[in-house]
Structure 1
Amino acid sequence: AQASQPKIAIAIAASALKAALDRGAPFSAELDTLAAISPDAPQLATLRAYAEKGVPTRTEIASQMDVAANAMVAAATPVDQNAGFLQNLMSSAESLVKVRPIGAVEGKGAPETVARMEVAVTQGDYAKALSEYDTLPEAAKAAGADFAGKLKARIEVETQVDALISGAMKA
């Protein structure tokens, strides 16, 4: 029974880390506890980079998608500096009303790609969302870089915590 206690402690510490991750809270204390029990876990180094601030929850990411989508679509359709009065008037009207496709639409344009990215985020498939993001034009990528960073951070931390938990369960 005593031989299995370190394994149980690792499982409990990893579960506490997962709970902090799900809350979106900083997880330094949980990571320090896990490091004290299992100092040679390879995931510790990667997780330390995110421990102080935590990572956004899946709910926060989903709620930020709409703003990011609008910014990426707007950045992909720049205003022509040589446009006439009527075109400038249309651009002003379009800036007041945001019209973009939604759902899993076909097409290679930025609005269609962002729509597919939004569907992937809603479904929790962040890897697919990032693969769509990678196909966007540079201007749209720049507008969505902060949001994409949040997706990457969430993927990386979830992957590392899941590896810790599965390692603890196998031990």
Structure 2
Amino acid sequence: MSEPLDSTLSGETLDQEFAAEDAHRKDAAKMTRVFLLFAAPLVIMIAIVIAAVAFKMSQDSRAIVATATPAASAPAVAASDPQKDAQIAALQSQIAALQGQLHPAEATAPAQPLYTADPTALSQLSARLDRVEANQQALAKAAASAFAARTLQQAARTEQPFLSELAVVEAGIDDPSLVTALRPYAEKGVPSEVTLAVKFPAVAARANSAVQADDGKDDLFSQLRHALGGFISIRRTDDIKGQGADAILQRAEIRLNNGDLKGAVAYLNTLSPAAQKALSPWIDQARARVLVDDITRHISESALNRLSQTTATDTPLRNGGVL
């Protein structure tokens, strides 16, 4: 009975020993894998550090050798330079040949500048610019003269003196006699056409009375009209087409009322000296007004003509024409 039990115990013991040995082997294998898992990167890092230190030491030793023996390394560099120079020269010759095939004219002909200044063209351009500047100055001067002449004409139409306006225009007037003729009237002024038209009926009546007295018509009516001529204007108004003093005065008054002072004065100039003397000083003022208006109109028209001519000369340039 004891032998079977011993054999059974011995079999169980062997199984336990095999199981323990198998677990031990598994633990050992696991530890080995863990060790290899952590040891491999560590070994790699150590190898990299060793290689970096070795590379650094090698570079330092080479720098020390190159610094200590520059003459020894120079021949090696110099020995390699001719070969590189030959290769560079061959490449340059090949590039030049290709450029000559692509652009044969440019390869043979020297390079020309893009623009060459022409002294003649520059002088012509300078002369044209001078003409433009001169035209602009002439245009400004003509415009100022035209404005001053127009201002003078308007000022002279009033009864006020216009000496300052005449002084402005005087510098641009070519004919000094015009200024000389205007100066006496510019200092005092001249009655306007309206004032002369208002005063005309009274002076016309006095002139008619003087004509009647000069003709020897001493009838009672004539004497009474002559006596009252200084206070009341009495004259005929039904004989316009005749040649008598009444007809001439009536035609002159019609012209005057229509704004034609010059035409009225032309009629009055045909009266007898006695009638013209009776019209004085009205007729003298009317003649002065006609003279002032004619001269100032002439000055204004001349200035406008000069401005028009200057503008016509300058128009092509201002409109974009060729200099």
TM-score category (smaller protein) = 0.7 to 0.9
Tell me if structure 2 keeps the 8 A contact 1:47–1:157.
yes
Matched, 1:91 2:91: no
Tell me if structure 2 keeps the 8 A contact 1:102–1:116.
no
Matched, 1:16 2:143: no
Once the two structures are TM-superposed, the CA of residue 160 in structure 1 deviates from its matched residue by 0.8
Q: Which runs of 5+ in 2 are unaligned?
A: 1-135, 307-323
Percent identity, aligned pairs only, is: 27
Judge which range, 90-99 or 64-73, deviates more.
90-99
Tell me if structure 2 keeps the 8 A contact 1:127–1:155.
yes
Matched, 1:40 2:174: yes
Q: Which has the higher contact order (CA 8 A, sep 6+)?
A: 1
Kindly provide the amino acid, as one letter, of the partner of residue 170 in structure 2.
Answer: A
Over 3 Å counting, the alpha-carbon distance change for 1:169 and 1:115 in structure 2 is same
Summarize deviations over 1:106-127 as a string: whole Å, max 9, x none.
1122112111111111122233
Judge which range, 96-105 or 123-132, deviates more.
96-105
Once the two structures are TM-superposed, the CA of residue 50 in structure 1 deviates from its matched residue by 1.4
Matched, 1:62 2:197: yes
Q: Secondary structure of 1:142's match?
A: helix
Q: Which of 50, 53, 56 is the aligned partner of 2:188?
A: 53
Name the structure 2 match of 1:168: 303
Q: Distance in 1 between matches of 2:260 and 2:289?
A: 11
For the aligned residue pairs, the C-alpha RMSD in angstroms reads: 2.8
Once the two structures are TM-superposed, the CA of residue 94 in structure 1 deviates from its matched residue by 7.6
Q: Which runs of 5+ in 1 are unaligned?
A: none
Q: Secondary structure of 1:68's match?
A: helix
Kindly provide the amino acid, as one letter, of the partner of residue 159 in structure 1.
Answer: D
Q: Distance in 2 between matches of 1:129 and 1:135?
A: 10
Q: Secondary structure of 2:242's match?
A: coil
Tell me if structure 1 keeps the 8 A contact 2:240–2:246.
no
Once the two structures are TM-superposed, the CA of residue 88 in structure 1 deviates from its matched residue by 7.4
Aligned positions of 1:10-159 closer than 5 A: 10-36=145-171, 38-42=172-176, 43-78=178-213, 87=220, 91=224, 95=228, 98-102=233-237, 105-159=240-294
More helix by share: 2
Q: Distance in 1 between matches of 2:207 and 2:240?
A: 16
Summarize deviations over 1:74-125 as a string: whole Å, max 9, x none.
1112296986xxx379727983764323378111221121111111111222
Q: Distance in 1 between matches of 2:190 and 2:164?
A: 15
Kindly provide the amino acid, as one letter, of the partner of residue 134 in structure 1.
Answer: N
Judge which range, 59-68 or 92-101, deviates more.
92-101
Q: Distance in 2 between matches of 1:23 and 1:47?
A: 14
Kindly provide the amino acid, as one letter, of the partner of residue 212 in structure 2.
Answer: T
Tell me if structure 2 keeps the 8 A contact 1:103–1:116.
no
Q: Distance in 2 between matches of 1:82 and 1:60?
A: 33
Q: Secondary structure of 1:23's match?
A: coil
Q: Distance in 2 between matches of 1:106 and 1:82?
A: 25
